[in-house]
Structure formats: C-alpha cells, structure tokens
A and B are shown apart, each in its own frame.
Chain A
C-alpha cells in the first residue's frame, strides 16, 4: 500500500464511500438468486445510482459468465464489470482445458479468488448462480470481502436487508419454476418499494438443463405493496407473473 503522506488520505482509506455517496457509480441494488426443483432463478432491479442521480434506470445487473452460469452484481459497477470480464475469460479457457461445461462451483470459486485477493481495492457484492450436470442448480454468494458461501437462496445489495426476514419465512425447497419465479419477483418488488437505491424494472433469468432464459418485467408491471397509484398499462412483451 501507499504510506501515509501529507495531503493524502490516511493509508487504507477507501477513496469511495459507501453506497449512495457521490464519487462513483454504484449499483445500490436488490439482487437475488433462488434454487428450485430443476434449476435456479436469478433476479435483479434495474437502478444504477450516482449519489441521488439515477444514472441508468434500466440497467442489466445480471451478467453471463458462461452458458449456464450467471452473476448478479452489486456495489461498484466498475469493479463488478471488471471482475465479470476476467471471470468470463478464465471460464472460457477452463472450458477449453477440461473439454466440459464449467461447473457453477468453479465459476463461483474464481469470483471469490478475485474478490478476496483484491479485497482492499474492491467494492463488490455478487451472487453466482447456474446449472451444471454434476450438482444441478446451485447458488453461491460472494459478499464483500470475498467469502464464498453456497446457499439455497440468497439476496444481496442495499435492498436485500428489507427482505431477509420475508425470504426466510416464505422460501421453500422444491418449488416449481413458476412458483420460484413469482417468489423472486415478489421479493424484489418488496425491496424496491422500501429501498431508495433500488427501483425501475425487474430482470429475471431462469437457468436449467435446457439452457438459460432472460425475462423482463417493466416498471409499470412491478407488483405494488403500499397503496401506490397503479400506472396505466402499456403494451409490452413482458413476462407473465403469477
């Protein structure tokens, strides 16, 4: 590290402050991933904020790492995009070397190595999820600091704190794809209704043996929870929500 010098902030100080502070594009966010019987569902809101300015209200926070492995990104957009690019590269090489599709566990492990190895320089909370033929669907949380923890369901980002209890109460194993999708949509919409840094639309990815499917729920169709005025419906090619 750089030694303390007059004029510089003390050694070890982060130049960027926490989510929502000026000086850095953040994905103050709600992201989550859940396993169901046969695969996983990933979900995210679409708000990218830079202080109080919403830099992008239709952001895509779920990035593909390989055929059946995706990553949900929260924290610094720059950091998570850089990590994603590295991991895509390593996974591509790994696939060539093994001659097989990459296991989700391996993808998650590489993300962890990058997060932990650069822990004093990064601000990145991520969730890796996907399907492989050895474990089926799996979800791996890589929160800030570089822990790696496999969980059946997990949420991240600034909005996740508002729905932790709700997820604990209402998630159950062995849901169908449609049940799980509805569960994720509802969870994210609940977080969006309370967290100022989360909002916009909901993006959903379904990953299973057949492959991966991306879906989109426009902002005016996100479930409402607090007597908000319902927006007029507009024609859309959005997903059906149970």
Chain B
C-alpha cells in the first residue's frame, strides 16, 4: 500500500522531500488513537487523569497502572503505547535518583522535562530504533511551584495549564478551555476531570473504561500520589449524575 510518506517513512532518520519526519508523525498517530489523558495545573498543585480502556472483564481493578511516581514530588502519566511509556518512566526514575545523589537536592520539574525531551529525541536520530509511541505528561511540584509538562515523541516539550491527548483530546481541550485554571483547586480538578472523561465517553460506541488519577498538591504535602479510591469514586458518581441531569433537561 502506498501512502503519503511512501519511501521516506521507513526510518526515523529520513526526512521526506517536504521536510517531514514520517516516523514521528506515525508515532503521534499511535498516541492519538489511544485512551484519553488529561492534565490540569491548578492553583495548589497538578492533577493527572487517564482513561484506561478495559480490555477484559477478567482484569483486576486498579491493575495496569498508567500513572507512576518518578520522584517524591514528580509523576508521569503515560499516553499511547504503554511499554514505551514504561521505558520513559524508568528513565525518569533513574534520572531523578542520580540527580539527587549527585547534587543532594531533588530534581526540578523543568530539568526533568528537558532530560526526557532529549531522551525522546534520541530515538529520532539513529537507525535501528523507532520513536517512542507515547506522549509523556509530567506533573511536578517543586520550589518553583506546580508545573505540568507534555513531552511528545519528537522530543518537543511544553509547559501547560491544561492539556489532553488521545482519542478524546479535541473534546477534552474544549472542556478544559472553559475552566478557570488560575482559581481551580486540585480537589475541584479531580471532579472536573471525571466530568470531562465521562462527557466525552460515548456509552454506545466506546468500550468501558476505568479512570485512574493522581495528584501532587499542597494537601498531599507536595508528594505525587494516587488520588484515593473514595475520592475518584465520588467524583465519578457526581460526574455521572451531572451528565444524566444535563441529558434530562435537554
């Protein structure tokens, strides 16, 4: 089958005549077709939420983690190809530990962002490897305040107030833009993310999913931890109710 990138898309090390790196674009497509991930940077911290599509009814609830802590005050949510994301997480853990050992201080968020960007970028420089099929959502809370970064397969990274990726990213971004992120607290953000996830989820077309969330905030003592099960359940209940009411009043 010949597509747009025919002939120039076989290796990440090859440019096309019009200056595109097709392998990176395809990596992006892997992320775009995966479950939705949302990150919100709030007044008092950062919240991450992941739509985990349930592949089998036999899966233990809460298994198959998509969100991981990489340092005391930093966490990563993986969007896209999960094993690639796991590789990034392990690299981040290693970077944070070595930094702490050498400098005696915890790694700053923007330094981790740069390290991960450079690492992702490596995979577009050599033949024989492929780019990571993940976008990394990095949540950090250090002495420069709460920060949310998104690192793409190309190695491009940006700092966000709110960002989304995956199947429902367009709808999610529309919803995020309606929020007043400068005033929003993490406790509120958990509810908003739940609401966003359930709003964009189509009951009839999409497979059932499990919502996994984490946060790092003043209330967690600036430690990156999972949002407690009760809090997530309560937020999900509230989201479902709100959506039902909205439906009924149409």
A152–chain B nearest beta-carbon distance, Å: 18
Q: How large is the interface on A (under 10, 10 to 19, 20 to 34, 35 or more residues)?
A: 10 to 19
Chain B neighbourhood of A97, CB < 8 A: 111, 114
Q: Is A98 an interface residue (CB 8 A)?
A: yes
- Choose one: A98, A109, A112, A148; the contact of B108 (CB below 8 Å): A98
Stretch in B68-76, B83-91, B98-106, B241-249 touching the partner: B98-106
Q: Is A194 an interface residue (CB 8 A)?
A: no
Q: Report Cα–Cα, A108/B108, bound state, in Å.
A: 18
Q: Is B55 an interface residue (CB 8 A)?
A: no
Q: Report Cα–Cα, A103/B108, bound state, in Å.
A: 13
A117–chain B nearest beta-carbon distance, Å: 10
| Interface pair A103/B105, CB less than 8 Å apart | yes
Q: Is B130 an interface residue (CB 8 A)?
A: no
A100–chain B nearest beta-carbon distance, Å: 8
Please report which residues of chain B, range 135-182, place their CB below 8 angstroms from some CB of chain A when the two chains form the complex.
143
Q: Report Cα–Cα, A103/B110, bound state, in Å.
A: 17
Chain A neighbourhood of B105, CB < 8 A: 103, 105-106, 109
| Interface pair A109/B111, CB less than 8 Å apart | no
Q: Mark A98-139, 1 if CB is under 8 A from B, else 0.
A: 110001011011101100000000000000000000100000
Given A97-B111, A98-B111: A134 in contact with B104 (beta carbons within 8 A): no
| Interface pair B143/A134, CB less than 8 Å apart | yes
- Choose one: A98, A99, A103, A113; the contact of B102 (CB below 8 Å): A113
Q: Report Cα–Cα, A5/B101, bound state, in Å.
A: 37
Q: Is A177 an interface residue (CB 8 A)?
A: no
| Interface pair A109/B114, CB less than 8 Å apart | no
Chain A neighbourhood of B101, CB < 8 A: 113
| Interface pair A99/B104, CB less than 8 Å apart | no
| Interface pair A99/B110, CB less than 8 Å apart | yes
Could you count the A-B residue pairs with CB atoms below 8 Å apart for me: how many are there?
Answer: 25
Q: Is A94 an interface residue (CB 8 A)?
A: yes
Residue in chain A with minimal CB distance to B143: A134
| Interface pair B103/A94, CB less than 8 Å apart | yes
| Interface pair B102/A110, CB less than 8 Å apart | yes
Chain A neighbourhood of B111, CB < 8 A: 97-98
Q: Report Cα–Cα, A98/B99, bound state, in Å.
A: 12
Q: Report Cα–Cα, A94/B115, bound state, in Å.
A: 13
| Interface pair A109/B104, CB less than 8 Å apart | yes
Q: Mark B90-133, 1 if CB is under 8 A from A, else 0.
A: 00000000000111110010110010000000000000000000
A75–chain B nearest beta-carbon distance, Å: 22
Chain B neighbourhood of A99, CB < 8 A: 110
A14–chain B nearest beta-carbon distance, Å: 27
B240–chain A nearest beta-carbon distance, Å: 44
Residue in chain B with minimal CB distance to A105: B104
Q: Report Cα–Cα, A112/B105, bound state, in Å.
A: 13
Given A97-B111, A98-B111, A99-B110: A106 in contact with B143 (beta carbons within 8 A): no
Q: Report Cα–Cα, A108/B103, bound state, in Å.
A: 8
Scoring B105, B110, B143 by chain A CB atoms within 10 A of each residue's CB, the highest score goes to: B105
Q: Report Cα–Cα, A94/B101, bound state, in Å.
A: 14
| Interface pair B108/A106, CB less than 8 Å apart | no
A79–chain B nearest beta-carbon distance, Å: 20
Chain B neighbourhood of A98, CB < 8 A: 108, 110-111
A2–chain B nearest beta-carbon distance, Å: 28
Q: Report Cα–Cα, A21/B61, bound state, in Å.
A: 70
| Interface pair B103/A110, CB less than 8 Å apart | yes
Residue in chain A with minimal CB distance to B105: A106
Q: Mark A80-97, 1 if CB is under 8 A from B, else 0.
A: 000000000000001001
Residue in chain B with minimal CB distance to A99: B110
Chain B neighbourhood of A110, CB < 8 A: 102-103
What are 12 A-B contacts defined by CB distance under 8 Å? Answer: A97-B111, A98-B108, A99-B110, A105-B104, A105-B105, A109-B102, A109-B104, A110-B102, A110-B103, A112-B104, A113-B101, A113-B102
Pick the 4 closest A-B CB pairs, nearest first.
A109-B104, A106-B103, A105-B104, A106-B105
Report A's interface with B, CB cutoff 8 A: 94, 97-99, 103, 105-106, 108-110, 112-113, 134, 148
